[in-house]
Structure 1
Amino acid sequence: MAICFELVVNFGDNVEAAQAAAALTEPHPYTLQAGAHSIPFHRPMLRPSGRYIELAFMPVGVGWRAAIDRGLPGFALTAAELTELGHQLYGLLVKFHGYTAAMVGWDPEHVLDPVELPDYELNDNPVPGLVLCEELHNQLGLGPDYLEFQPGYRWIPYQGETRALVHRPS
């Protein structure tokens, strides 16, 4: 089983917005700093995910057993370095428009499907770091605890990571 630290964005059926977001990380390789580490990113992965288009931004070597990282060196990151990387990914997300939901974390795809979100009872069990467009926020009947992430988007702020990543070969 693979586990990846990544930014995943649900663009609904808005292919143009997803392609524009993916283009923001050109020229390749796109890198971010986490502590003393300069971490490159794989090319953004645009993929259909059932009812919507998903765009994923995955740092190279920040995960466990990811096929895309096979044969590449991995990073051992402290919780503080992972948190720094997460904040920078949210900084990248601020540049995007036209998406429905997004989140940074360890395999966050499972909380980005608007059809399944009511099952999470988000008023009682908020998910830190989950960003929702204003329309979806209103459809779900979510309250004022969800702060403005950027105009048109609300979230429960990201709280960072609590565990270090000890690199294990892919």
Structure 2
Amino acid sequence: MAWIYALNAECGERETHARDLARHFAGWPTRVFEGEAAWWCGVVPEGLSRTGERSDEEARAMTAAGRRLYWLLRTAPPVYRYALAGIETDLFRGYDELMAERDLTIFPGLVLREDLWAAAGERAEFSDFAPGYRWIPYGGETRR
């Protein structure tokens, strides 16, 4: 089984929002897909391990890619509801499932639109990310 590193963003019910976000990541391999009653945009960096972070070198490469992806996400159009970079993050949580999660800190790097952050209890672990968004800062990947 492949363990794919990607940034995945849930864009709600509008396919056009996912396509707008994919255009923002021009030059990166993207895919737009529907799942869990919502449209998603996935950005999958090339050249990374497909077996997870089995070495410090692989973890460093994934961390560097993640930091670039989050940097680009900061300037993305505000068409997504939440996003997360990491291994196997496609469909990591449907909207209802995410909003029912008691401890969102289990998702380092999670970016939430501010209305979702407020609905989740305005947790102090989140800080400013981009206008209209809050996040749990991304700490990078570690060898497993």
**Contact 2:20–2:79 under 8 Å retained in 1:** no
CA distance, structure 1, for counterparts of residue 25 and residue 106 of structure 2: 30
Which residue of 138, 149, 153 maps to 2:129? 149
The residue type paired with residue 143 of structure 2 is R
Which residue of 105, 109, 115 maps to 1:129? 109
Shift of 1:110: 4.4
**Contact 1:146–1:155 under 8 Å retained in 2:** yes
TM (norm. structure 2) is 0.84
Which residue of the partner structure matches residue 4 of structure 2? 4
In structure 1, stretches of 5+ residues that fail to align are 31-40, 66-75, 165-170
In structure 1, the residue corresponding to 2:94 is in which secondary structure?
Answer: coil
Shift of 1:86: 0.7
CA distance, structure 2, for counterparts of residue 88 and residue 142 of structure 1: 26
The structure richer in helix per residue is 2
Which residue of the partner structure matches residue 45 of structure 2? 59
- 1:14-67 per-position Cα deviation (integer Å, ceiling 9, x unaligned): 3333222211233xxx2xxxxxxxxxx43x1101112110110112242427xx
Query: Structure 1 vs Structure 2: percent identity of aligned residues?
Result: 29
**Contact 2:21–2:79 under 8 Å retained in 1:** no
Query: RMSD of the alignment, in Å?
Result: 2.2
In structure 2, stretches of 5+ residues that fail to align are none
Which residue of the partner structure matches residue 84 of structure 1? 64
Shift of 1:106: 0.2
Q: Which has the larger radius of gyration?
A: 1
How many residue pairs get aligned? The number is 139
CA distance, structure 2, for counterparts of residue 81 and residue 63 of structure 1: 9
**Contact 1:102–1:112 under 8 Å retained in 2:** no
Shift of 1:119: 4.2
Which residue of the partner structure matches residue 115 of structure 1? 96
- 1:61-95 per-position Cα deviation (integer Å, ceiling 9, x unaligned): 42427xxxxxxxxxx94322221111001012112
CA distance, structure 2, for counterparts of residue 119 and residue 136 of structure 1: 11
In structure 2, the residue corresponding to 1:82 is in which secondary structure?
Answer: helix
CA distance, structure 2, for counterparts of residue 18 and residue 103 of structure 1: 15
**Contact 2:11–2:39 under 8 Å retained in 1:** yes
